[in-house]
Structure 1
Amino acid sequence: MKQKPFAKLVALSAFFLSSSALAAVEVGDNMTLQGKAGTSTRYDSNIFDQDKNPQGHFIQNMGGDVALTKEFKAGKATVGGGVEHEWYVDSPRDDRTNFNVMGDVEGRISQAVKAFLSAEYRQRHVNRGESLTDPTAVAKSPVRYWETSGRAGLEIRQAQWSIDPLVEITNLDFRNTRQLNGLTNTQDQRDRTEYEAGARIGYDIDAQWQVFNRTMGNWREYDKTVAGFVKRDSSGIESIVGVLFRPTENVRLEAGAGYLGQEYDAANLRDADTVAAMAQADWDISEDVNFLATYRRSIAEATAATHSFRLRDVVSTKLTYQAMEPLTLNGSVKFASDEYENATGVAAKERVDDLMTIGFGADYEVFKRIFLLAGYEYANNESNAATRDYATHVGRMGAEFRF
C-alpha cells in the first residue's frame, strides 16, 4: 500500500528554519539539553528547458538533533548529533540518511585570551545534476560523502587590538553514484583533504570604526588520480583589507577587498589570480525585524576534467520578522554566479552559470514547544552552456517539537 506523503523534519537542512531558536532544558548542575524532532513533506518540481518530461516528486523526511552543554567557570563544552531520513514516495530513486556527531569546547585562558576547539563528523547527500539529453541517465542515488572537520583558534583582545588566529582541517570522502540505466557516475576524483590557516587582525580606531586584515592560506590535497580526470592538488591565499563600521548598536557594516589566488600543481590546470572582495550588513531594524545582506567572492573546485576552477560570486539577503509571539516569518533572495575557467588546451566557450534563489517560510507555535512549518523556494539557473538552464520549485510543510 502506497504511503501518503506527510513528513519532513527540517532540523538539519530546511532553509526556513535557519533562524529558529531552541529553548534549553536544565538537566543537571550547569548542564542544559536542547534539540528538536519532527516530520514533514517536501515537493520538488524540476523544469528543464531541454527536458520534455519534467517531473515532480513528493519526498518524506523525519529526524531530529540534540545537544548537551556543560558550563564551567572559564567556559563551556558541548556534544551533540542528529539524524534525518528521507525517501521518495513515487520514484525509484534511493532513500538517503544524513547524520552528524559533533563536539566543541571553549574557554578563557586569561582575561585577554579565549580559545576554542571543535570537531564534527557527518554523512551528507547532495543531488547530482540530471542529464537533460538522456532521460535514463537520471541519478538513482544522490552523491553521498563523509565529511570530517576540525577547527581550533584563539580570540585575543588587547587594548585596541584584536587578533584571531584560526586553523581548519576538512576531509571529504565521496562515493560513486548509480543511474537509473545501471551505469556508474564517478565521484572518487573529488576525495581530498583541505587545510586552512591564518588570522584576522583588527585595530579599533574608536568605538565605531575598525580597520582589519584577514589573511588565510589553504592547501588542498587529493587522494587519487582517476582515469579521465586530473589530480587537483593546489595551494592558495586570500588576503583582505577592510573596514568595520558600527554607527549604532543595531547596525554593523563591513567591507573589504584584496588578493585571491590559487596555484594548481597539474600543468594543464590554469592558476587563479583575481581580486578578493567581501561585504556584510547586519541591521536589527526593530526588536522584531532583522535584515542581513552578504557578498563574497571565492575560488571553488571544479569536477569536470575540462575545467580548472570556478570563480564564484555570491550575494544573499535575508529578512526575519517576529510577527507576533508564536509566529516567525522570513524571506531570502540569493544570487550566485559561477565562472568556469577552462583547462589548458580546451577550446570550448567558457561556461557561466547564474543561479537566482528566492524563498520564504514561516513557523507557528500551536502548542508549547510544538510548531507548524511551511516554506517555498524557487530557483532559476541560466547558463551559456547547452542544456544547463533550469528552474525548480520546492514546497514544504511539516511539524516540529523543540526542547
Structure 2
Amino acid sequence: MREYLLVFLVAGTATYLLTVIAREIALRTGAVAAVRDRDVHDAPIPYLGGLAMLGGLVAAYLVARELPFLSRSDPFVFRDAGVVLVAGALICAVGVVDDIFEIDALTKLGGQVLAAGLLVYSQVRFYYLPGAGDSQFLLDPNQGALLTVIVVVATINAVNFVDGLDGLAAGVVCIGAVAFFVFCYVLTDQKDLTLASTGALLSAALAGVCAGFLPHNFHPARLFMGDSGSMLLGIVFSASTLTLTGQFNGTDISSDGNSTVVAVLPVLLPVSLLLVPVADLVLAVVRRTRAGRSPFAPDKQHLHHRLLEIGHSQRRAVLIMWLWAGLVSSGAVLTSLYSGPWMWAGLGTMFVLTVALTFLVPVLRKPGQPEVEPLGSEPTGTL
C-alpha cells in the first residue's frame, strides 16, 4: 500500500508542477478556450492540461519501476502499463491537435478507435466475462477486441462529455480511479493473490494525476484539460479496468456476490463508475435526434447546466456531481466485494443524502440571493 501511495503522490506532484508549463505552451500556441454562447465561462482560458497529466503518468510509471515491491512484480505488469501509456500518448496527441486547430468529431473518433486498436494489438483487451460463482465466459479474439474497442471509446467520450464545469471531469475520474484501486487491492487481498497488478498501478497513478490537476482546474480554473486531457483520462481509466482480465483468471477474481450482475460488475466497472456522464451522453443523443439535429451538435442542456438552472452555484454543482459519481462507484465496488444488510443500509443512506443535497439545497436558498462566484468553465466534449 505504501508504494501505491508513493505512486499517487509522484503522479500528483508531477502533474501539479507540469501544469504551469502546459499553460505556457497553450498560451504560446493559441490553444485557448474562447467564450461561446453555449459556454458557462466568461473569460478565455488556456487548454492543454492533458500534457501535464501525461507527464504525471509517465513520472509515476518510471518511479514505480524502481520501487522494491512493484519492481519485482511479473514483467507483464509494467509491460501492459507501458502499452496503456503509449496509447494514452497517442490519444493525447489527437487531443492537442484538436485543442489548437479544432478538428471535426469524426476525425477525433478515428483517433479514439486507433488508440483502442493499439491496445488490442498489444494484447491489452478483455479475455473473458466472469459469471456467478466459478463460471466464466471466454471471449475469442474477435469478441474480445470488439468489446474492448466499444468500452474504451465509450469511456473516452463519457469523460469528454462530463468535462463541462471547472474540476468536474477530473473529480469524477479521480473518484472512479480511487474506487477501482480499492476494488483491485481488496479483491486480490481477499483472494490471496499478488497485490501488484496493472489495474492497481494505473488507477493509483490516474487518481494522483487528477488530484494534482484539480488545484489548477477547480473554480475559478486557470487551465482546462481540453480534449487532450479528457480523452487521456478516459483511455487510461478504461484500460486499467480491462487489464484485470489479462492478469487473473475468472475463477480467481469471481465475486462472492449472489447474482450474475454483481459478478460481472468488475469487468464493466468503467461504465458503472461513469454512469452519470454516460447517462448525460445518452440523453444528449436522444434529445438532439428527437429535435431533428445531429447528435454531435453542441447545446447547453447537459446535466451540469440543469444543476445551474435549478439554483446551484458552479462549485456546488460540481460537488453534487462528485457525490453522484461517488455513490455509483462505491455502490459498484461494495456490491462486488461485500454483501449483507449493513452494506445496503450504508448505500441507502448515501443515496438519500445525495438526493437531498441535489434537490433541497436550491430550495433552501433565499429567493433572489445572488451567487457568490462567477461562472468559469466550458464543455470540451465531442458532442
TM-score normalized by the length of structure 2: 0.24
| Greater share of residues in strand | 1
Structure with bigger gyration radius: 1
Which structure exhibits the higher relative contact order, with contacts defined as CA atoms closer than 8 Å and separated by 6 or more residues?
A: 2
- TM-score, length basis structure 1: 0.23
